[in-house]
Every structure is written in structure tokens, then in C-alpha cells.
Amino acid sequence: MSKMDTQGMSADRDPNDNTPIIPQEHKPATITPRRLLTECMVRELKILINEVLDEREYKKKLKGPYDLYDEIEELGHSYFDVEHFKHYVGEEEPPYNR
């Protein structure tokens, strides 16, 4: 080779070759966004937010008219009440139903 390629950017060609160089077409890079929270954390945050909203609605109903007490449903177990969701190894975790 009669030239020195210092950056590795040149194509390996004979310097006497006069055929035109056809540039390659490159597809745009695919960028996957990074998230601060994992999927599991997002799921648990959604559950937590919904539980807080349900509890707030429940308290509003309790402050309401006395004749509606029979229609008010008790709040179930919290997802974060780990005592309720205990299970043995090899068993499925009890389902969370709100």
C-alpha cells in the first residue's frame, strides 16, 4: 500500500483504481429508552397509588350520610401487607384482589 491510513477510515483500495466509491446506506440507529424504575417497581407503584386513592374514597364515604353505611365495602388487604401474602416455597403467591 502506498499510503498510510492513520485512522482506519479509508477503504482498502488500490490507489490507481479510478472506479467511483459507492457510499453505503445506513439505517437510523434504534434507541431503547432507559427507565429509572424497573417494570416490577412500576407495577408496585401503580398498586400503591390505587390503594391510596381507594382509601381516600373510602374515608370520604365514611364521612358521608349515615344511611349509606350498609353499601360501603370494606377495604381489602393491602398489597404491602406482607403477612397476608405469606406462602411456602414452591407455592404461588396468593393473588392480590382489590
| Residue 9 grid coordinates | 477510515
pTM of the model: 0.53
Residue with cell 403467591: 93
Grade residue 8 by pLDDT with cuts at 50, 70 and 90: low
| Residue 28 grid coordinates | 437510523
Side chain identity, residue 44 = E
| Residue 70 grid coordinates | 350498609
Residue ranges of domains in the chain = 29-98
76 CB-near residues (< 8 Å, 6+ apart):
97, 98
> pLDDT for 80-96, tens place per residue?
777 888 888 888 888 87
Distance in angstroms (rounded) separating the CA atoms of residues 84 and 98: 13
Q: Which pLDDT score is estimated for 10?
A: 62
> pLDDT for 12-61, tens place per residue?
677 788 888 888 888 888 888 788 888 899 989 999 999 999 889 888 88
